[in-house]
Structure 1
């Protein structure tokens, strides 16, 4: 592993930038390459075979950019494809899956909610994780329509507000005390979600945990970049880059490329 090679990340679109932000904050010396496969978003409605094929395509792109480690910054891709990716490539992979464990362990009411894509909730990995906490009632909700709205920059739209009320009110009625965000796009909805949820319901996403795990794996492999240079961040998109640029506050260039 070359220490000064970049960390690669991919997602079905802009959502994984929430993971990128956490990694960049924790590891400011590391160069990063982020791939937004927005042309194929959302992954949550696709078959397992399609998700694996897209994940391989994205991985190949990042490996061609000399990525030393690949962060699958997408819950759906992690839960459906990371086993195949790890079997196929020597590079280490960091996955992102719904943070059921901290929610279930800390829940006082033993009732938690999870808002995720259909692909994540239907996956074998999700069910294996959920089964470990059989004493906790898990209210599952597919976030139909949320990712396309986020990808279109409609995070504060009336339609988004309507869908969030539709998905969250049954969870509130079920008396949850933790809400797990099971898609890397969803942290961008936290301001709207907080307006709907009672204050005592805590929200958990996976960003900081993924960043810590990325650092730990690089430490184990002596792969951290210890140079004090200003880190480079390169962003690629195969769709209209406007929303990605907006999410990044126009601080970074977004390269539009078909992949």
Structure 2
């Protein structure tokens, strides 16, 4: 296998760039191609069949672009489609799931909160994971509207603050000491979330763990490239403006139909 082939990453929009940033920081010499399927965001309100079909579409485009490994940087796509992807395509996949284990393991109050999409919380994989921690009370909250606001550039809007307060206040009242962010869009809301949560509540997302898993898989089975740092490529199927702003205008975002 050609070690200098790119790593492919896809998400239901711009949120998976929070995963891309962790991967790029840990593996700066790896080429990366990112697909933002914003036209179909959010995945969390779609049926399992729709999520699988969209995930296959994204996978096939990344394979056409010669990717050696694919990161499913979307909790909803991972929990609903990754087993199907692994069965159908001969390429390594890395998925992302809510980081329930570290939260449940370290919780002092034995009560943790999960903020995620309906598609993630209702998946069989999520249910299977939560069953391993029956001694911990898990407060589940669907983040309706959050992804749409992020995709539309409303991260700092009054509507976003109101939604977050309505979702987090019951968790605070339930005495959680960990909040797990179960959607790759949500790390972009951490400053707003911190302003609402008491200081004793810790926030966990899965980005760093996914980056480490990517590095481990490359070291074990594919091998890291020794090439000099390569400019990452970003594709979106909607207006590139919001993705461009999220990336700090440092990189070029290309509009592509997919």
Q: Would you call these one fold, judging by a TM-score over 0.5?
A: yes
Deviations 1:13-50 (CA, angstroms, capped at 9, x unpaired): 00000000000000000000000000000000000000
Aligned residue number for residue 135 of structure 1: 135
Q: Does 1:14 align with 2:14?
A: yes
After the TM superposition, list the runs of 4 or more consecutive aligned residues in structure 1 that deviate by more than 2 angstroms: none
| Native 8 Å contact 1:2 1:223 kept in 2 | no
2:231, 2:101 → 1: CA distance? 34
Name the SS for the 1:239 alignment partner.
Answer: coil
Q: Equivalent residue for 1:88?
A: 88
Unmatched runs of 5 consecutive residues or more in structure 2: none
Q: What is the CA distance between 1:98 and its match in structure 2?
A: 0.2
Aligned residue pairs, count: 258
Shift of 1:122: 0.2
Aligned to 1:235: 234
Q: CA deviation at 1:231?
A: 1.5
By how many angstroms is 1:133 displaced? 0.2
Task: Give unmatched runs, 5+ long, in structure 1.
Answer: none
Alignment of 1:18-167 (within 5 A): 18-167=18-167
> 1:204 is matched with which residue?
204
What is the CA-CA distance between 1:222 and the residue it aligns to? 3.4
Query: Whole-Å Cα distance in 2 between the matches of residues 58 and 91 of structure 1?
Result: 13
| Deviation at residue 234 of structure 1 after TM alignment | 0.2
2:181 maps to: 181
Give, in angstroms, the shift of residue 90 of structure 1: 1.1
TM-score norm. by structure 1 comes to 0.99
The residue matched to 1:221 in structure 2 has which SS? helix
Cα distance between partner residues in 2 of 1:150 and 1:50: 22
Cα distance in 2 for partners of 1:72, 1:245 equals 21
Report the aligned-residue RMSD: 0.5
Q: SS of 2:133's equivalent?
A: coil
Deviation of 1:221 (Å): 0.8
Q: Is the 8 A contact 1:44 1:117 kept in 2?
A: yes
Equivalent-residue separation in structure 2 for 1:230 and 1:145 (angstroms): 37
Secondary structure, aligned partner of 1:132? helix
State the TM-score, normalizing by the size of structure 2: 0.99
Q: CA deviation at 1:157?
A: 0.3
Q: Following the alignment from structure 2 to structure 1, what is the Cα–Cα distance between the partners of residues 129 and 226? A: 35
Measured after TM superposition, the shift of residue 57 of structure 1 is 0.1
Q: Residue 245 of structure 2 aligns with which residue? A: 246
- Give the Cα separation in 2 of the matches to 1:86 and 1:255: 28
2-structure distance, mates of 1:80, 1:68: 22
Aligned residue in 2 for 1:256:
255
Deviations, residues 182-224 of structure 1 (Å, cap 9, x unaligned): 0000000000000000000000000000000001011111321
